Amino acid sequence: MTPLALLKKRYLSHTDRLRYQPNLEGQRIANDGTIYIGNRAGPSKALSHLVHELCHFVEVEDHRIASPHWGLKTPQVWICDRWCCEPHTRQMTERELRVISYQLNVLEALGAPSRAIHFVSALEYLADFIHVPLEDGRPAYGEGAPEADKLDYKDRITSRIRWMAKRAEALRSEFTLERFDREWARKIDLLSR
């Protein structure tokens, strides 16, 4: 059985309220409340993108499961006649790292193992990436950060991506497949009410 067939059998065959829609990017809510999740991220289509959306469903708070975009928003501030993202923490990145930890465990169970480094590099485009520390835990910028002549921009990016990969791998022991399966069953039950 292919990993996709196994995923459909194990997770998507037990409910009509959560469905897979090929070529859909992310998640959308239909007028009847059905949640559709897809296998596309930008121009790329992959099983890992579908699993990522399943993991968001499991990871988000209960009141967000049937909200567009999982009910997640970016902090914004009005500057020079436009809205601009202005995160003060790395909360968005931390959520994605939890989701990626689940994702790695689910993919492994489906027979399609991967490594955190393959998923975390895209997180450099999140608005709160500025708050991600260097691999050794020091801030990338500001007080306590290495001087520019000791670590250039590209090296800072690479170091921070390694920090995120290590963090995602470490979180796998907390965001296990067993925990995923328990939360999956509980949230599917919530959808049925």
* Averaged pLDDT, 23-47: 94
d(Cα 181, Cα 154) in Å, to the nearest integer? 39
Q: How many CB atoms lie within 10 A of CB 49?
A: 20
Task: Output 84 or 65, whichever has higher pLDDT.
Answer: 65
pLDDT of residue 147: 80
Q: Mind listing the pLDDT tens digit for each residue in 92-110?
A: 999 999 999 999 999 999 9
Instruction: Read off the pLDDT band of 165 (50, 70, 90).
Output: very high
Structure pTM? 0.92
> What tokens were used for 187?
């949230």
Residue type, 49: H
At residue 52, does pLDDT exceed 90?
yes
Percent of the chain with pLDDT over 70: 99
Beta-strand relationship, 35-37 and 27-29: antiparallel
Domain ranges of the chain: 3-192
d(Cα 53, Cα 49) in Å, to the nearest integer? 6
* Averaged pLDDT, 13-37: 93
**Radius of gyration in angstroms for the set of CA atoms belonging to the chain, rounded to a whole number:** 18
Q: Mind listing the pLDDT tens digit for each residue in 57-83?
A: 999 999 988 888 887 877 777 788 887
* Closest residue by Cα to residue 188 from 60, 65, 85: 65
Cβ atoms of residues 171 and 97 within 8 Å: yes
pLDDT of residue 148: 66
